[in-house]
């Protein structure tokens, strides 16, 4: 059975498909994904978008604790540079739990993680 990320506790009001991956760190015990994340209007931290922006964005880190396994199925990590000169690695197109593995994919590659439930840390901009 597949469970999409927006059904995970704490992820209900985040829209990852338009969020930008800024960095992915993996080691033997954890995975951390730094994002410029889009918050929906229902999110408690939502504010009106800044001038010339379409979305309310906040920097977040998705933490995967107590990792039992990390498999890079495809690792591209080719940087994109926006009009402001900021670098990102694209969006998270898919993020779901299936057969005890969290699966994530996007322009940056594809990752399979077996860990405890992911959590979100909000970073002050």
Nearest to 37 by CA among 79, 92, 101, 119: 92
Tens digits of residue pLDDT in 15-72: 999 999 999 999 888 999 999 999 999 998 888 888 877 889 999 999 999 999 999 9
DSSP 9-64: TT-TTEEEEEEEEEEEEE-SS-EEEEEEEEEPTTSTT--PPPTT-SSEEEEEEEEE
pTM, rounded to two decimals: 0.91
Instruction: Name the residue with higher pLDDT: 8 or 86.
Output: 8
Q: What is the mean pLDDT of the chain?
A: 92
pLDDT of residue 102: 98
Which distant-in-sequence residues (6+ apart) come within 8 Å of 125 by Cβ? 58, 59
104-121 pLDDT, tens per residue? 999 999 999 999 999 999
Amino acid 125: pLDDT:
60
Q: What is the mean pLDDT of residues 75-103?
A: 91
For residue 100, what pLDDT band results from cuts at 50, 70 and 90? very high
């Amino acid at each position: 059975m597949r469970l999409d990320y927006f059904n995970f506790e704490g992820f209900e009001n985040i829209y990852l498909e338009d969020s930008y991956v800024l960095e992915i760190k993996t080691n033997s015990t954890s995975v951390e994904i730094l994002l410029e994340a889009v918050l929906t209007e229902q999110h408690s931290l939502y504010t009106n978008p800044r001038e010339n922006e379409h979305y309310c964005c906040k920097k977040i880190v998705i933490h995967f604790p107590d990792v039992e396994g990390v498999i890079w199925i495809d690792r591209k990590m080719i940087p994109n540079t926006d009009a402001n000169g900021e670098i990102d690695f694209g969006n998270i197109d898919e993020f779901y739990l299936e057969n005890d593995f969290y699966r994530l994919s996007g322009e940056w590659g594809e990752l399979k993680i077996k860990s405890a439930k992911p959590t979100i840390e909000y970073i002050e901009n």
